Amino acid sequence: MRPSSSDRVVRGLCRIYDVMLLAYPPTFRREYGREMAAVVRRRAREVAEREGCWAFMAFLLQIVSDWLRTATRERLDEGAGRSVDAHGAAVISLFAENNAGRAPDSERSARAWSLVLAGLGAFLLAEGWVRWFRIMGIWR
Amino acid sequence: MARAKDPHGFLPLTPAVFHILLALSNGERHGYAIMQEVARDTDGTLQLGPGTLYGCLKRMLSARLVEESDERPDPDIDDERRRYYRITELGAQTLRAEIQRLAGALSAAQARRLVSPRRVPSEGRR
């Protein structure tokens, strides 16, 4: 990517990521949001300058898929954490991925709804990205 | 509660938690450095996203596997708002326990001739 267009793309991505951070619970966002945005900015700049357009597209997909999975998980954890003490919740969360199949019905239902909403969100976001890239003249 | 203090109570670790602990075993690091170290250690096969990284760090801090470091490198060469993380004694014990568990699994696979003992280290570095 040319330096001027890569700067614009990175700035645009950072602005969009700042909005995406709103999907995380407020406590998590306050604690880690600024660092997450800084990590995305630094990595995006590196990929755009050194690895080219296709690597940047792969990076965007990675960011979106990470956001969908972790925003949903942090929301679920926040709900679960209210009924368990902090240390217990942390231990449970470390095992959550291994015991995903054993979730109770209410949690499974919440997870299913989250996935449906996440899928819809991903579709809208992808549509937005394609339009934005066309406007910027990067992808025709 | 007693289970949480026993390193074996945390096993098996998820790949993300395992590699974050492995990255921190070399010394304290900030988030972006952890991401880079994990990508290097796994030859790029595990790329931690920011949500995965900080979600894991949040849970690892609560479980006392890692802690925030108060020390900062020279402010002239580093952003002092950036947070550094280091592994705790419990984290190091948990990492060793997980490595032993994985070594046991590898031995079992080798005994069944599913993997050749000589090929494993060279393939990992390729």
Question: What would the 3-class secondary structure string for chain A be?
Answer: CCHHHHHHHHHHHHHHHHHHHHHCCHHHHHHHHHHHHHHHHHHHHHHHHHCHHHHHHHHHHHHHHHHHHHHHHHHHHHHHHCCCCHHHHHHHHHHCCCCHHHCCHHHHHHHHHHHHHHHHHHHHHHHHHHHHHHHHCCCC
* A27–B contact, CB cutoff 8 A: no
- Tokens 């990675």 correspond to A62
Q: Do B63 and A32 touch (CB under 8 A)?
A: no
- Give ipTM to 2 decimals: 0.80
Q: Do A39 and B35 touch (CB under 8 A)?
A: yes
Provide the domain limits for residue B23.
2-125
Of A63, A97, A98, the CB nearest to B49: A63
Provide the domain limits for residue A110.
3-136
Count the domains in chain B. 1
The mean-pLDDT minimum among A14-18, A58-62, A76-80, B22-26 falls in A76-80
Q: How many beta-carbon pairs under 8 angstroms link A with B?
A: 80
pLDDT digits (tens, 9 = 90+) for A73-83: 999 988 776 65
More confident residue, B32 or A102: B32
How far is Cα A35 from Cα A3, in angstroms, rounded to an integer?
24
pLDDT digits (tens, 9 = 90+) for A80-131: 766 545 555 455 455 444 443 344 455 555 566 666 667 777 777 777 777 6
Q: Do A98 and B9 touch (CB under 8 A)?
A: no
* A56–B contact, CB cutoff 8 A: no
CA distances (Å), A44 to each of A31, A41, A52, B26, B87, in order? 22, 5, 11, 26, 28
